[in-house]
RNA sequence: GCGAGCGUAGCCAAGUGGUUAAGGCAGUGGUUUGUGGUACCACCAUUCGCGGGUUCGAGCCCCGUCGUUCGCCCCA
C-alpha cells in the first residue's frame, strides 16, 4: 500500500470543517482591514530563501526541500515560509510603484524537512499577513491587532503575546558583541549547541532550553539596552499603542526569532493548550528584506499563523462543523427514481441541501440512512406518488408526514426554509 | 540528526509462551420487500506492520526493519 509521506497527512471531510472555519474567519477580518489576498508560487529559486531567510539559519541550513530542475541548471526549493515569496513578488511586479502601503495576506502549504511531532509536520499550512511600506509603530500594532482579532473570533483562549525588539542591524551587531563578551567566560558550562552558536548565531543561545544555559542567560545583557534611541522609541511606542488597544503582552528579552530578516519588533502568540510546539502565530518587522532582495528601501511587518496548530486548538473547543442535508430523498421504482433525481436538482436550485438515496433498496433501509445523514426532512417517492406527481414530506424528528404535489412543494420555498431553520435549532 | 514510547479488523481495544485471536463502535443482511431512530439475530482478522531468530509451541521473548507518537533541535 502506498502511504502518504512522513510528515504529510490527509485532511479528511470530518476535519475539514475546522479548516473552512479558520479560512472564512480570517478572510472576513482581513478583508475588513482591507488586506488583499495574494497567491504566489509554492516553489522558488533556492537563492531567494538563502538570501532572504539567511544562510546561517536552521531553516536554510538543514530544513529545505531543494532539488535541481530537469534542465539541471536551476536550484529550486519548496517554500519553507511565505514572506520571501511575497516580497519577491512585490519587487518583481513593482507593487511599490503604486505608492503607499500594500496590505497583503496569503494562505497555503509550506515545507520543512523536520522530524514530525505534535503540531509540526513537513508539509504544513500557514495563513499570513504582510504590511509593506510603512515604518510606523502603528503598522506593527495594526498587524498584531488583526492577528489577535482573528484568534479571538475563533474563540481561542489561553493565548499570550510575547514581544521583544531586536533593533536594527547596527543595534544587533553591538548587542552580539556585548553578549559574546558576557558569555565567553562561561563557555565551558554552556550546552553543546550553545557553544557552537557562540560564533555562528549567539542570539539564539538566549532561547536555549538547557537548564544551566538558561541560568547563565538570565543575567546576560539585554538587547533592549543595546538599542539606539530611535529603535527604543519605536519599541516603546508599539508597547504603548498595544496598551491603548487593550492587548496584553509580556516583554520576553530572550525572544529571538529564527529567521535573519527580522528587525525591531519580534513577537509570538503562544497557547498553553498545545504540546512543545506552542507558537500559534509568529512574526515581526523586516525593514531590510525588500532592499536585500533587490527592491527599493522599504519597511514592512508581517506574521504567519500555523493552521494545523489552530485546528488542534479548535478541536479542543468545538465539534467539527458538519454539513447535514435539509432533505433526504427516498425513492423506489424506475419512474419514481427518475422523478426523485429531477426533484433533488430543483430543490438544490432553490437553495436547499439535498441528499439523494441512490440504492433502490427497501424503504426501511433508506429511512435508516436518512436518519444517519442527519437530514431534517425526508421526501418519499414511490410508485403511487410517481403516478400522480406528488411526494410524501416527512419531518424526521416528529414523524409527521403528508402528501403534497411536487409542483406545490417547489413553490413553498420560504415556508420550508423557515420550518427547517426552526427544526435545526 | 539524537532520545523515548507504541504498532492486534475501517475505528476503539482485550490478550504478558500452550488447543478455535475477547468485547464494543461502524458496516452488511435479516426479523420488517411503502416508512427511520429502539430491540433482537446473523455475517464481518486462516491472523496480530514486515523480515529473521529462540522454542516442541510466539500476537506475547530476541534482533533487524518500516511506520507512528511524543520529546530534543527548530519553528507556524
Model ipTM?
0.85
Binding site feature residues of A for L-histidine: 81-83, 112, 126, 130, 257, 261-262
Q: Which residues pair with A352 in a beta bridge?
A: none
Residue A271 confidence (pLDDT) = 93
Asked whether the predicted pLDDT for residue A196 surpasses 80, the reply is no
d(CA A221, CA A180): 10
Residue A153 confidence (pLDDT) = 97
Asked whether the predicted pLDDT for residue A265 surpasses 90, the reply is yes
| Fold type of domain A13-168+228-317 | BirA Bifunctional Protein; domain 2 (3.30.930)
Taking only the tens place, the pLDDT of each residue in A282-294 is 999 999 999 999 9
CA dihedral sign of residues A179, A180, A185, A189: positive
d(CA A240, CA A242): 5
For residue A224, give the 3-state DSSP assignment. helix
Residue A213 confidence (pLDDT) = 78
Residue A237 confidence (pLDDT) = 97
CB-based contact A256:A166 (threshold 8 Å): yes
Domain range list for chain A: 13-168+228-317, 327-420
d(CA A14, CA A364): 27
d(CA A214, CA A27): 40
Query: Which amino acid residue lies closest to nucleotide B49, measuring CA to C1'?
Result: A1
CB-based contact A377:A393 (threshold 8 Å): yes
For residue A343, the surrounding DSSP H or E stretch is helix A334-349
User: Can you tell me which residue has the cell 500500500?
Assistant: A1
The band of A280, judged by pLDDT with boundaries at 50, 70 and 90, is: very high
As a whole-number percent, the residues of chain A with pLDDT over 70 amount to 100
User: What's the Å distance between residue A122 CA and nucleotide B22 C1'?
Assistant: 39
The band of A356, judged by pLDDT with boundaries at 50, 70 and 90, is: very high
Residue A188 confidence (pLDDT) = 78
d(CA A195, CA A187): 6
Residue A1 confidence (pLDDT) = 73
User: What's the Å distance between residue A288 CA and nucleotide B49 C1'?
Assistant: 51
Asked whether the predicted pLDDT for residue A245 surpasses 90, the reply is yes
User: What's the Å distance between residue A12 CA and nucleotide B20 C1'?
Assistant: 39
Query: Which amino acid residue lies closest to nucleotide B2, measuring CA to C1'?
Result: A115
User: What's the Å distance between residue A72 CA and nucleotide B76 C1'?
Assistant: 32
Scan residues 294-333 of chain A and list those with Cβ within 7 Å of strand B. Answer: 304-306, 308-309, 332
Q: What is the CATH number of domain A327-420?
A: 3.40.50.800
The band of A20, judged by pLDDT with boundaries at 50, 70 and 90, is: very high
Cell numbers for A21: 472555519
Closest-CA residue to A129 (of A240, A271, A29, A16): A29
For residue A215, give the 3-state DSSP assignment. helix
**A144 CB neighbours strand B below 7 A:** no
CB-based contact A132:A84 (threshold 8 Å): no
Q: Which chain B nucleotides are covered by protein, judged by CB under 7 A?
A: 1-3, 27-30, 32-37, 67-76
d(CA A390, CA A404): 5
Taking only the tens place, the pLDDT of each residue in A399-408 is 889 999 999 9
User: What's the Å distance between residue A121 CA and nucleotide B55 C1'?
Assistant: 43
Pick from A174-188, A295-309, A383-397: least confident: A174-188
Residue A224 confidence (pLDDT) = 85
The number of beta carbons lying within 10 Å of the beta carbon of residue A215 is: 11
Mean pLDDT of A366-384: 91
**A389 CB neighbours strand B below 7 A:** no
Residue A175 confidence (pLDDT) = 86
**A258 CB neighbours strand B below 7 A:** yes
Closest-CA residue to A144 (of A132, A131, A155): A131
Binding site feature residues of A: 81-83, 112, 126, 130, 257, 261-262
For residue A297, give the 3-state DSSP assignment. coil
Residue A331 confidence (pLDDT) = 92
Residue A226 confidence (pLDDT) = 85
Amino acid at each position: 500500500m502506498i502511504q502518504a509521506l512522513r510528515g504529510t497527512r490527509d485532511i479528511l471531510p470530518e476535519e475539514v470543517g475546522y479548516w473552512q472555519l479558520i479560512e472564512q474567519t480570517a478572510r472576513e477580518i482581513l478583508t475588513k482591514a482591507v488586506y488583499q489576498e495574494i497567491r504566489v508560487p509554492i516553489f522558488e529559486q533556492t537563492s531567494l530563501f538563502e538570501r532572504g531567510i539567511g544562510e546561517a539559519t536552521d531553516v536554510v541550513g538543514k530544513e529545505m526541500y531543494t532539488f535541481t530542475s530537469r534542465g539541471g541548471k536551476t536550484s529550486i526549493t519548496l517554500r519553507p515560509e511565505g514572506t520571501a515569496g511575497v516580497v519577491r513578488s512585490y519587487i518583481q511586479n513593482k507593487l511599490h510603484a503604486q505608492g503607499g502601503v500594500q496590505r497583503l495576506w496569503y494562505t497555503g502549504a509550506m515545507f520543512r524537512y523536520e522530524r514530525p511531532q505534535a503540531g509540526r509536520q513537513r508539509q504544513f499550512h500557514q495563513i499570513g499577513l504582510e504590511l509593506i511600506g510603512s515604518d510606523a509603530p502603528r503598522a506593527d500594532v495594526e498587524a498584531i491587532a488583526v492577528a489577535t482579532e482573528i484568534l479571538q473570533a475563533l474563540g481561542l483562549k489561553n493565548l499570550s503575546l510575547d514581544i521583544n525588539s531586536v533593533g536594527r542591524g547596527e543595534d544587533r551587531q553591538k548587542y552580539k558583541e556585548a553578549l559574546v563578551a558576557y558569555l565567553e567566560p562561561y563557555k565551558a558550562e554552556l550546552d553543546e549547541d550553545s557553544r557552537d552558536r557562540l560564533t555562528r548565531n549567539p542570539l539564539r543561545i538566549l532561547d536555549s532550553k538547557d537548564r544551566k544555559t538558561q541560568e547563565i542567560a538570565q543575567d546576560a545583557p539585554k538587547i533592549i539596552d543595546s538599542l539606539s534611541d530611535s529603535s527604543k522609541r519605536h519599541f516603546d511606542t508599539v508597547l504603548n499603542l498595544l496598551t491603548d488597544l487593550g492587548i496584553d503582552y509580556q516583554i520576553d528579552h530572550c525572544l529571538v526569532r529564527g529567521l535573519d530578516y527580522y528587525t525591531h519588533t519580534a513577537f509570538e502568540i503562544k497557547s498553553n493548550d498545545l504540546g512543545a510546539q506552542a507558537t500559534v502565530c509568529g512574526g515581526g518587522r523586516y525593514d531590510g528584506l525588500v532592499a536585500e532582495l533587490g527592491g527599493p528601501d522599504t519597511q514592512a511587518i508581517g506574521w504567519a499563523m500555523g493552521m494545523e496548530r489552530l485546528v488542534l486548538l479548535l478541536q479542543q473547543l468545538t465539534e467539527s462543523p458538519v454539513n447535514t442535508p435539509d432533505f433526504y430523498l427516498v425513492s423506489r421504482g424506475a419512474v419514481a427514481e427518475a422523478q426523485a433525481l429531477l426533484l433533488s436538482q430543483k430543490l438544490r436550485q432553490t437553495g436547499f441541501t439535498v441528499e439523494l438515496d441512490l440504492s433502490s433498496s427497501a424503504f426501511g433501509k433508506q429511512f435508516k440512512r436518512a436518519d444517519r445523514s442527519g437530514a431534517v426532512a425526508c421526501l418519499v417517492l414511490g410508485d403511487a406518488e410517481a403516478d400522480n406527481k406528488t411526494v410524501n414530506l416527512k419531518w424526521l424528528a416528529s414523524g409527521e408526514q403528508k402528501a403534497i404535489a411536487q409542483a406545490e412543494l417547489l413553490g413553498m420555498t420560504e415556508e420550508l426554509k423557515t420550518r427547517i431553520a426552526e427544526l435545526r435549532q
